[in-house]
Structure 1
Amino acid sequence: MHRFIGRARELRILERTLDEVRAAAGSAKPGQCTLLRGRRRVGKSSLVEEFLQRAGVPYLFFTAAGGSAADELAELADAVATSTLPERGLYSEEAPTQWNAAFRLLAEILPEDTPSVIVIDEVPYLMDRVDAFEGMLQRTWDRLLSRKPVFLLLIGSDLSMMEALSSYDRPFHQRGRDMVLGPLTPADIAEMLDLDAATAFDATLITGGLPLLCREWRPGASMWEFLTTSLENPTSALLVSAERSLAAEFPPQAMGREVLRAIGTGERTFSNIARAAGGIAHSTLSRAAELLIDKRVVAAELPLSLRPSKERRYRVADPYMRFWLAFVEPHMAEIERLRGDLTLARIRDHWTTWRGRAVEPLIRESLARALPDDRLPAAPAIGSYWTRSNDVEIDLVGADRRPVAKRLLFLGSIKWLETSPFDGHDLAALHRHRAAVTDAPVPLVAVSRCGVSCSGLQAVYGPEELLAAWRTHR
């Protein structure tokens, strides 16, 4: 099934946990709990639905909607009524009006000797709206649920709140296993959409590996065909998914939206972001940036080198959101009046320049997965280096640790153009920049979309080698 290409490992983990519950039925505490987190629209609910269909055991799937505690309780009653739990009628008869009572009754109606699954989706809403939710969940789990052969799956999109749920100073600490669902990888996308390696990386930059977007990409279609089709349809996932995610995470009045927009349109330094966001105060920007980083929407990075630096730079962490902020959101009005052709022309004009910078984090992550190999050692940290004036910029820095390294393992340059190979001029520039960072003969590396036309490099990587690294780690 296309929908679940790349999710085989996650399905195996869920199935193995259910097997543990099944094998422990009859023991004192057969219950198991997993805390599944991942960014919005990454396919968490779809993964769990597929798991439930394959599992063939009684289950309840409840999704919190962000309403009041009473509204959520009513939604839970509806979910129980439409579940496959054999004793669901007893819950309806009791109709509990308090969350404590609801949890207790839910535990009572679960089968005693056969496994079942309880799924609570969008848990952060309940943490936010239901008083003492975590404490109630912990007590119910310890005293009742864990004593039944049940697999409890807690799902959430707010990554920081889901991490907090199991942190050491919170009631539910050590009650569940953490599981993170990431986007589809470039290798998943290549397989799903029948793309060559270079185009698979382009597709990753546009879709962010979100299954919903990838499903709209016709297998074998070029990037430009996909963009043409999407921009002609004002309801396409490419256009609307980002706005829905932002609306769920940031209220319209929050400065987080303005700061994210400034970063998404290319500003990288604190002062430039403040200016682009309307000249906001530095204290306001600090709070907004902290929120964005906390929610994993923005990454803040320091140069990786042998010397400390305060030249922090910011970037949008999700490739799809970065693409949407740069090319789609500023021109939504023209797309809605069916002039997506204007937007497409603008993307064509700026694509090569935009991609050259946007692909760098993805290449660094790919290289981290590829190493060690027969050319380079494993690098505990792979980053980049820059100075305030940008007179020295190094795309790839492999080191023993970050942000201040004791030892540099390699330095490299990324040239991601269709028709221009990495050449002698690029190598000469890399030599100059190495001299500005270290006197040591640190190995030099090139990553090129279009090959290399010079000698003198320790290692060369192209799209195929980078894509292979993702296949190895699936």
Structure 2
Amino acid sequence: MVAFVGREDQLAVLDSLLTKVAGAIPDDPRPGQCLLIRGRRRIGKSSLVEAFVDRTPAPAVFFTAAGAAEQVELEAFVEAVSSSDLPDRAVFDDATPGNWSAALRQLAGVLPDDRPSVVVIDEVPYLVERVDAFEGILQRAWDREFSRKPVLLILIGSDLSMMEALSSYGRPFHQRGKEMVLGPLNPAEVGDMLQLPPAEAFDAALVTGGLPLICAGWPPGAGLRQFLAAELANPVSPLLVSAERSLAAEFPESAMARSILSAIGSGERTFTNIARAAGGISHSTLTRAADVLIGKRMVAAELPVALTPSKERRYRVTDPYLRFWLTFIAPHLPEIERLRGDLTLRRIEAGWTSWRGRAVEPLLRESLARLLPDSSLPAAPAIGSYWTRSNSIEIDIVGADRAPVAQQLLFLGSIKWLEHAPFDDHDLLALQRHRAALTDDPVPLLTISRSGVRVSELAASYGPDDLLEAWRRD
């Protein structure tokens, strides 16, 4: 089993909800609690809840939808209840419900009245898609039956936009449950799990995306090259197959969305270049597909943070692991399957420094946002970057009062993430020149450098140790 490093807070939330259910017996006429958990695929949502169910003495039923036809899903649900440890589960052997409304009502009827129980429905979006009016069915079952039982109902989903919509205003299940967003392991958690120093922890976070299943294959203390060599020698390793399985589930019938995602993942950032890399598709087709990717939180569309408006939108893949996979793994899967992962490894080593320099920037900006304020710089409501169409001016870090059009710039900075090249006078001169192109004000300057600094004119400088520590704060 994958160790749940960094999931203590989430397990504590589940424990507290079940404790609240137990404490409501018998005085509260509605002791039930509901929790909606969302997070991208293979992030560990199901494993987290399975670990919770395994360690609680409360009887439980765990059902996972598979995207099959309505009747097939219903039969699988009945089987899950029949094989659970609910005390009255045999009722489902004697009377098989004919529809989902009856199935949920029958399940509520066999839940204990005098002690808490747990009901888990995983991949709820599949049911919303396949079962007519499932949201309304779920809402009625909760209002009329489940909320009146001492039960913790856990609803899990990987389709982020659909799970957000499930509890949004105007939808049947609005305000029926609490929400939990499960993200990847953060860089500090990755570093702790893999026993890596701070700079290498950030590298590991980029390659694994903080996915517990991939992190579990990384030998504690091993370097990046050792990990990659072992994973690339195994055609079914999680590093190789996790992205493909996630994409197959997200886009079972949309080759265009995958094509555009591949173009962005390979390094194309502008609308025109993405359209060209995706085969010369029309702008309207790209717009529709990009909207789907953005809605699924797989792609971010960003504008420069500046004092004046800009239309120079750029796109990036939000998940660093998927970005790594699209760049280095996906185009060369055939050679890996021929057990020539050594060729892929050489290609990664040749392109690693350049790829990492760009891929690490969003993660470092988020780390800085967690770190500030400190004795040198204020907190910034918005931390982004700035660029021009020609890329003649690029500023890696722009802290401002709002984005993308700011009223006040709070600080500007440069990221230099190289092993043996500290931030020096040449880098400072370039940053000062770019500041002059953006504003006449003496906005404070900073750097984030992997290898330290050789100048003293900066307002602040941060290294891997500082930024990793920011993730340990509550």
Give the structure-2-normalised TM-score.
0.99
Partner of 1:23: 23
Q: How does 1:178-193 map to 2 (within 5 A)?
A: 178-193=179-194
**d(CA) in 1 for partners of 2:243 and 2:51?**
24
Q: CA deviation at 1:53?
A: 1.6
Contact 1:81/1:89, CA 8 A, preserved across alignment: yes
Report if aligned partners of 1:91, 1:109 keep a CA contact under 8 Å in 2.
no
Give 2:13's aligned residue.
Answer: 13
SS at 1:279's partner residue? Answer: coil
1:247-298 superposed Cα distances (whole Å, 9 cap, x missing partner): 0001254310000000000000000000000000110000000000000110
Aligned to 2:160: 159
Amino acid at match of 1:79: A
> 1:302 aligns to what?
303
Q: Take 1:164 and 1:255, find their aligned partners in 2: how far apart are those partners?
A: 25
- Measure how far apart 1:420 and its partner are: 0.3
Equivalent residue of 1:435, what SS? helix
Structure 1: state its 5+ residue gaps: none
Which whole-Å CA distance do the structure 1 matches of 2:111 and 2:193 have between them?
39
Q: How does 1:308-327 map to 2 (within 5 A)?
A: 308-327=309-328
Q: Deviations over 1:314-343 (max 9, x none)?
A: 000000000000000001111110111110
Pairing of 1:456-471 with structure 2 (within 5 A): 456-471=457-472
CA contact (8 A) 1:381 1:401 kept: yes
In 1: Cα distance, 2:215 partner to 2:45 partner: 15
> In 1, Cα distance between the equivalents of 2:374 and 2:251?
43
Identity percentage of aligned residues: 67
The SS at the match of 1:190 is helix
CA distance in 1, matches of 2:309, 2:25: 55
Return the offset for 1:55: 1.6
Amino acid at match of 1:267: E
| Structure 1 residues 426 and 183: CA distance shift in structure 2, 3 A | same
Q: Aligned equivalents of 1:252 and 1:77: distance in 2?
A: 29
Letter paired with 1:176: G
Q: Which residue of 2 aligns with 1:371?
A: 372
Superposed, which structure 2 residues align to 1:256-405 within 5 Å? 256-405=257-406
Would you say the 8 A contact 1:25–1:148 is kept in 2? no
What is the SS of the residue equivalent to 2:168?
Answer: coil
**What amino acid sits opposite 2:266 in the alignment?**
T
User: Are the counterparts in 1 of residues 304 and 384 from structure 2 also a CA contact under 8 Å?
Assistant: yes
Deviation of 1:178 (Å): 1.0
Q: Corresponding residue for 2:207?
A: 206
Query: Which residue matches 2:116?
Result: 115
Task: Name the SS for the 2:305 alignment partner.
Answer: coil
> CA contact under 8 A between 2:401 and 2:408: conserved in structure 1?
yes
Paired amino acid for 2:22: R
SS at match of 1:410: strand
1:471 aligns to what SS in structure 2? coil
Q: Does 1:81 align with 2:82?
A: yes
Cα pair 2:2 2:212 within 8 Å, conserved: no
Output the CA distance in 1 between the equivalents of 2:402 and 2:129.
Answer: 37
Partner of 1:50 in structure 2? 51
Using the alignment, how far apart are the partners of 1:373 and 1:22 within structure 2?
43
* Distance in 2 (alpha carbons) for counterparts of 1:251 and 1:44: 21
Where do residues 372-451 of structure 1 align in structure 2 (5 Å cutoff)?
372-451=373-452
Q: Secondary structure at the match of 2:132?
A: coil
Q: In the aligned structure 2, how far is the partner of 1:31 from the partner of 1:438?
A: 56
Q: Tell me, in whole angstroms, the C-alpha distance in 1 between the residues paired with 2:222 and 2:341.
A: 18
Task: Tell me the alpha carbon deviations over residues 44-95 of structure 1, each in whole angstroms, 9 at most, x when there is no partner.
Answer: 0110011112221000000001001100000001100111110100122111
Q: Secondary structure at the residue paired with 2:392?
A: coil
Q: Secondary structure at the match of 2:447?
A: strand
Instruction: Quote the Cα distance in structure 1 between the aligned partners of 2:390 and 2:194.
Output: 41
Q: 2:272 and 2:93 mapped to 1: Cα distance?
A: 58
Q: Distance in 2 between matches of 1:117 and 1:203?
A: 36
Residue 235 of structure 2 corresponds to 234
* Structure 2 portions without partners, runs of 5+: none
What amino acid does structure 2 have at the position aligned with 1:425?
A: H
> What is the TM-score of this pair, normalised by structure 1?
0.99
> Which residue of the partner structure matches residue 64 of structure 1?
65
How far residue 131 of structure 1 moved from its aligned partner, in angstroms, is 0.6
Shift of 1:373: 1.2
AA at the equivalent of 1:68 = A
Distance between the aligned counterparts of 2:410 and 2:378, measured in 1? 8
SS at match of 1:120: strand
Equivalent-residue separation in structure 2 for 1:252 and 1:327 (angstroms)? 24
Task: Please give the per-residue CA displacement for 1:430-452, whole angstroms capped at 9, x wherever unaligned.
Answer: 00000011111100000000000
CA distance in 2: counterparts of 1:470 and 1:320, whole angstroms: 19
Indicate the larger mover: 397-406 or 248-257: 248-257
Which amino acid letter does the alignment assign opposite residue 367 of structure 2? S
**C-alpha separation between the residues in 1 aligned to 2:256 and 2:66?**
24
2:175 matched residue in structure 1: 174
Residue 21 of structure 1 aligns with an amino acid whose one-letter code is V
Mapped to 1, the partners of 2:379 and 2:45 lie a distance apart of: 32
Aligned structure 1 segments of 4 or more residues deviating by more than 2 angstroms: 251-254
Distance 1:304 1:84 in 2: 55
1:160-218 Cα offsets, whole Å, 9 max, x none, are 00001001011000001110000001000111000000000000000000000000000
CA distance in 2, matches of 1:16, 1:454: 50
C-alpha separation in 2, matches of 1:183 and 1:19: 26
Question: Mapping of 1:76-155 within 5 angstroms?
Answer: 76-155=77-156
Partner Cα distance (1:293, 1:215) in 2: 29
Give the secondary-structure state (helix, strand or coil) at the position aligned to 1:472: coil
